[in-house]
Amino acid sequence: MKLIKILFLVAFINAFGQGSVDNQLASYNFPKIRSSITMPVTIPLTELSNMVNASVKDLIYQDDSYTDNNNDQFKVKVWKTRPIRLVGGTSQNLLIEVPLKIWAEKGIGTLGVYSYQNTTFETVMSFNTTVSFKNNWTITTNTQPNGFRWVTKPVLDYGRIQIPITPIVEKSLKEQQLKFCKTIDQQMATQLNFQQYAVMAWNTFAQPFNISEEYNTWLKVSPVGVNITPLKFYGNQINATLGIDIFSETFTGSKPASSPSVTSASNFNFSPTVADKFVLQTTANIPFTEASNMARKTFLNKEFDIRDSKVKVTDIRVYGLDNRIVIEAQTDGYIKGTAVVSGIPVYDEAKRKIVLSDTKFKLKTMNILQKTASVLFQGKIVKMIEEEYGIPTQELEETSRKSIEDAFNKEYYKGLKMSGKVFNLKPSKILLNNTGITAVIDTNATLKLLVNGF
């Protein structure tokens, strides 16, 4: 018999990193973020039909004795003429139709002398099956007979005498229909037990996933519970939505320990709706060499007017010190020396740049007289840097968005496809290390797992 495989596995995502900065964030504790993954599950009724048809032979019933059933002088054979058909009802039920061809032979006579006549006719046998999805991952059904619809009625033709035998046939068919109900329920219970697949899905989370080999960054997804919406029945399918509540954790450095595997899945909860927000933190790095190049493109050879004279920026570099970004500008002209502007890096959402706040200024020069002009110079250069300097994050954000969405829209297993979209992504924290700037990026997305083709 064909096994219906509804496999809900939770897959991993793949984030990205910028530049070539060595990982310096081993001591940074990323938060443990609660979020959800949704999985719309569709069970095609054609699959259930295939299962039922595989369990029912073409010859459904056969009575080869004239003398059984109180010497009823009646033989009958019942065949399935076409595949059994399932249709979704409106009250968590399935309507099942079984088209039948029946051959019957009846003996008419007395004192042991009988004349036999046979006939062939067709009917459609109907069932009503209610379906319940138990929170222990099993599906139970309760199938009841729903009568007959005669295509051609059974009549024995003895020439001038025609004898309808519908009551005799129906009695036998009703007995078999009750047995057939039990067969349907037994097969459904055997095939629609999803406990093993729930265990497989749960244990998929046991191993952390490497989301950035370059920065040795790991993503660990830990399930904490499963919610499911009520089953919805349509003409050709049964739909439900699973919501998997998870904790996503990001680690840097060594691979974190795996979660313990489970041998049985916990019971799920029924919910009218399930959350569809997936939340993740990743990192992207900008080396100070790149930050210095950005500063040079903006400020190199820039001139200032100080007391009717010129001050020119001849070189500039960017580095980190005590959680502050430091910009050292070499100047020539009226003020010859090194202007040092430092500030705390923050993300400016309007500019989509990492900018400086709480700026401080210091001038290094051997000329004491030039220090008297440093107040004017300080005002000009600090204002210029505050207004014009910034590390653009637009490309970083768009690249990160594309990388995550690419990872969210793949078929990692046959018949199991992830579908996701990032709808909000921005840096939330700016961290400094020895060689560069690290932006901690908050990502909000929808992530779905689509089951199809099992």
Query: Distance between CA 35 and CA 278 in Å, rounded?
Result: 5
Query: Distance between CA 426 and CA 433 in Å, rounded?
Result: 20
> Could you count the other beta carbons within 10 Å of the beta carbon of residue 168?
18
Could you tell me which residues come within 8 angstroms of residue 337 by beta carbon, excluding any fewer than 6 positions away? 330, 331, 363, 364, 365, 366, 367, 370
What is the predicted pLDDT for the residue at 367?
A: 64
What is the predicted pLDDT for the residue at 317?
A: 92
φ, ψ of residue 171 to 5 degrees: the values are -60, -45
Pairing of strands 237-252, 217-228: antiparallel
What is the predicted pLDDT for the residue at 335?
A: 81
- The 3-state DSSP class for residue 70 equals helix
Query: Distance between CA 116 and CA 443 in Å, rounded?
Result: 81
What is the predicted pLDDT for the residue at 314?
A: 92
Q: In terms of C-beta density within 10 A (0-12 exposed, 13-18 middle, 19 or more buried), how is residue 371 classed?
A: middle
Q: Which of the listed CATH numbers 3.40.50, 1.10.760, 3.15.10, 1.20.140 matches domain 45-191? A: 3.15.10
Nearest to 10 by CA among 41, 37, 40, 43: 37
Domain boundaries, given as residue ranges, for the chain: 45-191
Crossing angle for the helix pair 374-388 and 288-299, to the nearest 10 degrees: 110
Say whether pTM exceeds 0.85. Answer: no
Query: Distance between CA 227 and CA 242 in Å, rounded?
Result: 6
The per-residue pLDDT string of the chain (454 residues; one tens digit each, 9 = 90 and over) reads 332 222 222 222 222 233 333 444 444 566 777 877 777 777 788 877 887 787 777 887 788 887 777 777 778 888 889 988 888 888 788 899 989 898 888 777 777 777 777 888 898 989 999 988 888 888 888 999 998 888 888 887 777 777 787 887 777 778 878 888 887 888 778 777 777 666 766 776 677 777 666 556 677 778 888 888 888 888 788 888 878 888 877 776 778 888 888 888 788 888 888 877 777 777 777 888 888 988 888 888 988 787 777 888 899 999 999 889 999 989 888 788 888 889 999 999 888 888 989 988 888 876 655 555 566 677 777 888 888 878 888 877 787 777 777 777 777 556 566 778 888 888 888 888 888 888 888 888 887 766 554 4
Kindly state the tokens that stand for 275.
């959350």
Q: Where are the beta strands (DSSP E) in 3-58?
A: 33-44
What is the predicted pLDDT for the residue at 104?
A: 80
> Could you count the other beta carbons within 10 Å of the beta carbon of residue 187?
18
Query: Which DSSP string corresponds to 239-297?
Result: EEEEEEEEEEEEEESSPPPPPPP-SSPPPPEE-SS----EEEEEEEEEEHHHHHHHHHH
Q: How many CA atoms lie within 13 A of 305 on its CB side?
A: 1
Please give the radius of gyration of the chain, using alpha carbons only, rounded to the nearest integer.
38
